[in-house]
Chains A and B, each alone.
Chain A
Amino acid sequence: MKYKSQAVAKPYFIAAIALFLGQILFGLIMGLQYVVGDFLFPAIPFNVARMVHTNLLIVWLLFGFMGAAYYLIPEESERELHSTKLALVMFWIFLAAGVATILGYLLVPYATLAEMTGNNLLATMGREFLEQPLPTKVGIVVVALAMLYNLSITVLRGRKTAINLVMLVGLWGLAIFFLFSFYNPSNLVKDKYFWWWTVHLWVEGVWELIMGAMLAFVLIKVTGVDREVIEKWLYVIIAMALITGIIGTGHHYYWIGAPEYWQWWGSVFSALEPIPFFMMTVFAFNMVNRRRREHPNKAAVLWALGTGVMAFLGAGVWGFLHTLAPINFYTHGTQITAAHGHMAFYGAYVMVVITMISYTMPLMRGREANSPFAQVIEMWSFWLMTISMVFITLFLTAAGILQIWLQRIAEEPISFMAAQDQVALFYWMREAAGVIFLIGLLLYIASFFIKGKAATAVAT
Chain B
Amino acid sequence: MSSAFTKSAARNIFYGGAVFFFLLFLGLTFDTMNTLPQRDNRANLTESVVRGKHIWETRNCIGCHTLMGEGAYFAPELANVYKRRGPEFIKAWIQGQPTGAPGRRQMPNFHLNEQQLDDMVNFLKYTSEINTSNWPPNIEG
A residues sitting closer than 8 Å to B (CB atoms) are: 30, 33-34, 36-38, 41-42, 45-48, 50-51, 110-111, 114-115, 119, 123, 125-128, 131, 162, 184, 186-190, 192-193, 228, 231-233, 235-236, 238-239, 242-243, 246-247, 249-250, 252-260, 262-263, 265, 329-330, 332-335, 337-338, 407-409, 413-417, 420
**Given that A37-B103, A189-B36 are known contacts, is A255 also in contact with B69, CB under 8 Å in the complex?**
yes
Point out the residue from A33, A125, A338 that lies within 8 Å of B57, measured CB to CB: A125
**Given that A127-B62, A232-B10, A247-B21 are known contacts, is A255 also in contact with B132, CB under 8 Å in the complex?**
yes
**Given that A111-B59, A111-B110, A186-B53 are known contacts, is A239 also in contact with B36, CB under 8 Å in the complex?**
no
Q: List B contacts of A186 (CB < 8 A).
A: 45, 49-50, 53
Q: Are A125 and B138 in contact (CB under 8 A)?
A: no
Which of B106-140 touch A at CB < 8 Å? 106-108, 110, 126-127, 130-133, 135-140
**Given that A260-B133, A332-B135, A407-B140 are known contacts, is A235 also in contact with B10, CB under 8 Å in the complex?**
yes
Which 10 residue pairs across A and B have the least CB separation, nearest first? A47-B63, A126-B57, A333-B69, A37-B105, A255-B135, A235-B10, A416-B76, A189-B40, A239-B14, A332-B69
CB distance from A262 to the nearest CB of B (A): 8
Complexed CA–CA distance, A123 and B52 (Å):
13
Point out the residue from B32, B66, B106 that lies within 8 Å of A259, measured CB to CB: B32
Closest to B39 in A: A257
Q: List B contacts of A330 (CB < 8 A).
A: 137
Q: Are B40 and A50 in contact (CB under 8 A)?
A: no
B residues sitting closer than 8 Å to A (CB atoms) are: 5-7, 10-11, 13-14, 17-18, 21-22, 24-25, 28-29, 31-33, 35-36, 39-42, 45, 49-50, 53-54, 56-64, 66-77, 98, 100-108, 110, 126-127, 130-133, 135-141
A-B contacts besides A126-B59, A189-B40, A413-B138, 18 pairs, CB < 8 Å: A37-B106, A47-B61, A110-B58, A123-B54, A123-B57, A123-B58, A162-B7, A192-B68, A239-B10, A243-B21, A246-B24, A247-B21, A247-B24, A257-B130, A258-B32, A259-B36, A332-B69, A333-B70
CB distance from A116 to the nearest CB of B (A): 11
Point out the residue from A46, A258, A414, A417 that lies within 8 Å of B39, measured CB to CB: A258
Complexed CA–CA distance, A192 and B61 (Å):
15
Q: List B contacts of A33 (CB < 8 A).
A: 74, 105
Closest to A246 in B: B21
Q: List B contacts of A131 (CB < 8 A).
A: 60, 63
Q: Are B133 and A232 in contact (CB under 8 A)?
A: no
**Given that A131-B60, A162-B7, A329-B135 are known contacts, is A242 also in contact with B72, CB under 8 Å in the complex?**
no
Q: Are B36 and A190 in contact (CB under 8 A)?
A: yes
Q: Are B108 and A42 in contact (CB under 8 A)?
A: yes
Complexed CA–CA distance, A335 and B13 (Å):
37
Closest to A337 in B: B73
Q: Are B60 and A126 in contact (CB under 8 A)?
A: yes
Q: List B contacts of A409 (CB < 8 A).
A: 137
Complexed CA–CA distance, A251 and B120 (Å):
29
Closest to A258 in B: B32
Q: List B contacts of A408 (CB < 8 A).
A: 136-138, 140
Closest to B26 in A: A246
Q: Are A242 and B58 in contact (CB under 8 A)?
A: no
CB distance from A43 to the nearest CB of B (A): 11
Complexed CA–CA distance, A119 and B50 (Å):
14
Q: Are A126 and B58 in contact (CB under 8 A)?
A: yes
Complexed CA–CA distance, A36 and B54 (Å):
30
Q: List A contacts of B106 (CB < 8 A).
A: 37-38, 41-42, 45
Closest to B76 in A: A416
Q: List B contacts of A260 (CB < 8 A).
A: 133
